[in-house]
Amino acid sequence: MLLRTPTTSIARCISLLAGVLLVGTVGFYHIEGKWTLWECLYFTLVTITTVGYGDYGLSHNGQVFASLLLVCGISVFTYSLTTIVQIASDPEASRKRIMRRRIADCSDHIIVCGYGRMGRTICEEITREGVTCVVIENNESSIRRAVEDGLVVLEGEASDDELLLAAGLERARGVICAVDSDAENMFITVTVREHNPNCYIISRAENEMAARKLQHAGASLVVSPHQMAGRTVASAVICPRLAKYTNGYDDDDQSFRLGETHIKPGAPLVGQSVSEFGGTVDGLVFVAIERANGLTILRPRGSEVFQQDDIVIYAGGHDDIAAIKNAALSPALCRL
């Protein structure tokens, strides 16, 4: 979900005003016949601004059209003018109001605490998958960068209860603690677990001691950037061909990724066997199926049937992954 900036809001208001003027001008031009385009434009302006310099000898059809223009045009004119004045007088407050409205519409989103180098990379990967990110950051330069990247941003300390709730914590799918302070990541983890016990929390840790404490605090997964980088480099040296696949290898000839999908109720995939669906996507390899009851089936056989609320883990190309994700959606979501 991209953030609507004050600039785009002003552009939208101007477009609405231009649209009303165009409709009014063309409408009067065709209805009245003898009026020039300038007279039609002038009368449209007189109408929507409620100045009212007379009816210019309107015909009956012209009066009907003017009545409709009065109702719709004045509403658009008032809304657009008010919005432009608010943005011009306090652009920062306007931007914050826009963000709050966008967050109010968010659900099943990811809250990313911290927009440093790690947080920015995380957001890029998440938004690439079509999932909405809400960023919480207190550094001004990082906030500007996040806004420029088109993200919804809240300014402040991510450990603040009210700020996390304002970011839609109770509706969020997960929270990523990417702040470069183990203590703050600890506070965020505790706060998130208190307000949303079912939320999936991934936290950054600088050392093993901090990692253990974060796990005890309720983090679902704790990662250490230094350890992960070290393992990736070591893996690339020892198994270079494997590493290029597991790290999201892409080129012009081949595209291969690992992924997982939650099968929603009523999805087309429910009731199909592995072999049935696999026959429609030749490049997909099924690694495991995790049932709703916790049972995990590794390397599922072709006769294994997909069920509602299964978590399917697979490997394959972008097109094949898109196909299984679409098949795992409920019919209502597919129409969105």
Mean pLDDT of the chain: 83
**Extents of the domains making up the chain:** 6-92, 106-228, 257-334
pLDDT of residue 75: 81
Does 1 score more than 50 pLDDT? no
**Among residues of the chain, what percentage have pLDDT more than 90?**
30
Does 335 score more than 60 pLDDT? no
Summarize the confidence of residues 243-253 as an average pLDDT.
Answer: 58
pLDDT of residue 247: 63
Answer whether CATH 3.30.70.1450 is correct for domain 257-334. Answer: yes
Which range is least confidently modeled, 62-66, 235-239, 244-248? 244-248
Does 260 score more than 80 pLDDT? yes
- The number of residues making up the chain comes to 336
| Cβ atoms 307, 292 nearer than 8 A | yes
Using CA atoms, how far apart are residues 81 and 330, in angstroms rounded to an integer?
42
Tokens of 36: 């020039």
Using CA atoms, how far apart are residues 147 and 149, in angstroms rounded to an integer?
5
Does 45 score more than 50 pLDDT? yes
DSSP states of 166-200: HTTGGG-SEEEE--S-HHHHHHHHHHHHHH-TT-E
DSSP states of 207-268: SHHHHHHHHHHT-SEEE-HHHHHHHHHHHHHHSHHHHHHHTT-B-SS-B-EEEEEE--TT-T
Going from the C-alpha of 227 to that of each of 114, 152, 177, 215, the distances in angstroms are 20, 30, 17, 17
Summarize the confidence of residues 120-145 as an average pLDDT.
Answer: 90
pLDDT of residue 333: 47
Which fold is adopted by the domain 106-228? Rossmann fold (3.40.50)
Give tens-digit pLDDT for 107-131. 889 999 999 989 999 999 898 888 8
Going from the C-alpha of 269 to that of each of 82, 237, 295, 299, the distances in angstroms are 49, 39, 19, 18
User: 6-92 in CATH: which number?
Assistant: 1.10.287.70
Summarize the confidence of residues 251-261 as an average pLDDT.
Answer: 69
| pTM above threshold 0.85 | no
Does 256 score more than 80 pLDDT? no
SS3 322: helix
Going from the C-alpha of 283 to that of each of 175, 227, 244, the distances in angstroms are 32, 32, 18
